[in-house]
Amino acid sequence: DAKTTQPTSMDCAEGRAANLPCNHSTISGNEYVYWYRQIHSQGPQYIIHGLKNNETNEMASLIITEDRKSSTLILPHATLRDTAVYYCSAKYSGAGSYQLTFGKGTKLSVIP
Amino acid sequence: NAGVMQNPRHLVRRRGQEARLRCSPMKGHSHVYWYRQLPEEGLKFMVYLQKENIIDESGMPKERFSAEFPKEGPSILRIQQVVRGDSAAYFCASSPGSGPESSYEQYFGPGTRLTVT
């Protein structure tokens, strides 16, 4: 799995968009970018994943640069409940890819 | 439809005692994964089980740790002769399958926080 780098922490005003960056400069062609989050004292929660194209679901949008060396998770209208640690992971999606591994992630604080 | 259930939520053990952590997967899920999260660190994979089978235990310490997922009942993560370094949050996840979607269709329980005194 490719190494990922994220800022340690970020603040975002409630109601504004939260843009969380992730660098994965060594990502290979068959590795997907995954995002999970962990709200305090809870288990991780899947958010979104993508390969090349930008992706959007009911929770967030994922923007992947053309060279795939970095990506940004966008929470369009952050709420206080979005305060959590956000993990970016680059990994192969296929047989045996169930081993989720996260680093320290970005601690997002949504401020009223 | 209940989610993944883990108990106990908090467990305190003295050094040398045994810890048993239980996980009941979501209804319809037959694949269970155990992870450990040390304080201020990320998540680390430990073991992947299906009913009555250990599929991958590559992340499990070689000694004192064992896991099972019997035909009936919850999955159990067992830690014998606990030491202070075992203090961590242990999360269980379940998925409906083991295909490519297992990378993102893992649903996590609330975790068991083990404290070894």
Q: Length of chain B, please?
A: 117
pLDDT at B102: 58
Say if residues A40 and B113 touch (Cβ distance below 8 Å): no
Provide the residue type at A66 as one letter: E
**pLDDT for A94 beyond 70:** no
Sign (positive/negative) of CA torsion A11, A17, A19, A20? positive
Could you read off the pLDDT of A74-93 as tens digits, one per residue? 999 999 999 999 999 888 76
Q: Within chain B, which residues score under 50 in pLDDT?
A: none
Tell me if B103 and A49 make a contact (CB, 8 A cut-off): yes
Could you read off the pLDDT of A21-47 as tens digits, one per residue? 999 988 888 888 999 999 988 899 989
The tokens of B37 are what? 């999260």
Q: How far is A78 from chain B (nearest CA, A)?
A: 23
Using CB atoms within 10 A of its CB, is residue B86 exposed (0-12), middle (13-18) or buried (19+)?
buried
pLDDT at A102: 82
Q: Length of chain A, please?
A: 112
Tell me the CB-side half-sphere exposure of residue B102, using CA atoms within 13 A.
23
Tell me if A101 and B91 make a contact (CB, 8 A cut-off): no
Task: Name the residue among B59, B103, B111 with its Cβ closest to that of A43.
Answer: B111
Tell me if A44 and B44 make a contact (CB, 8 A cut-off): no
Could you read off the pLDDT of B7-26 as tens digits, one per residue? 999 999 999 999 999 999 99
